[in-house]
Amino acid sequence: MISKPLIEAIVAQYAQPLEGRHGLAHWARVLENGRLLADRTDADTTVVELFAVFHDACRQNESFDPDHGARGAELARRFHNEGLLDLNDKQLALLTHACEAHTDGLITGALTVRVCWDSDRLDLGRAGIRPAQGLLCTGAARDSEIMQWAGERSLTGHRPDLLATEWGIVLKDEKSA
């Protein structure tokens, strides 16, 4: 589970709207997608969970931002060096690679990295994109029930309960923002 001090540190440096397309609800859906996929594979759940909050944490805008994954990876390295992330070297390498390459369209690599990418790709509906089965990296993500479940949540802008229960965050209603 992601610690409250860690999520607070990530949010404190986040430059985009917390309610935005790449904001906290997206991170929480990616986290829940990743937990589901990790349960069905041998992926490292710790890395998968951390990917959810680092992969888009350093976006400079809500549109084209090709270096945001590398910046997210660098933030993870910095927080690791500061003691906010308790990871071994292998886990840190998997996390930073997953962040750096998450927009490259790759489908091969270490299982944990592929689960990270799938957890994000399953949330593409928020941008009007239906993930293609052939661009998902794992059999678990290609399962039609998982694709439907994640797709519906993405399309509707579902806000997972973990925002409040695990992270202590309540987002403003976009209609009143």
Q: Are 105 and 135 in contact (CB under 8 A)?
A: yes
| pTM of the predicted model as reported, rounded to 2 decimal places | 0.96
pLDDT tens string 119-153: 999 999 999 999 999 999 999 999 999 999 999 99
pLDDT band at 158 (very low <50, low <70, confident <90, very high): very high
pLDDT at 56: 98
pLDDT band at 29 (very low <50, low <70, confident <90, very high): very high
% the chain with pLDDT above 90: 95
pLDDT at 172: 84
Mean pLDDT score of the chain: 95
10 Å Cβ neighbour count for 114? Answer: 22
Flag whether pLDDT at 177 surpasses 80: no
Q: How far is CA 50 from CA 73, 77, 129, in A?
A: 11, 12, 24
pLDDT tens string 60-109: 999 999 999 999 999 999 999 999 999 999 999 999 999 999 999 999 99
pLDDT at 1: 81
pLDDT at 85: 95
- What DSSP line would sit under 14-55, residue for residue? --S-TTSTTSHHHHHHHHHHHHHHHHTS---HHHHHHHHHHT
pLDDT, mean of residues 7-35 = 97
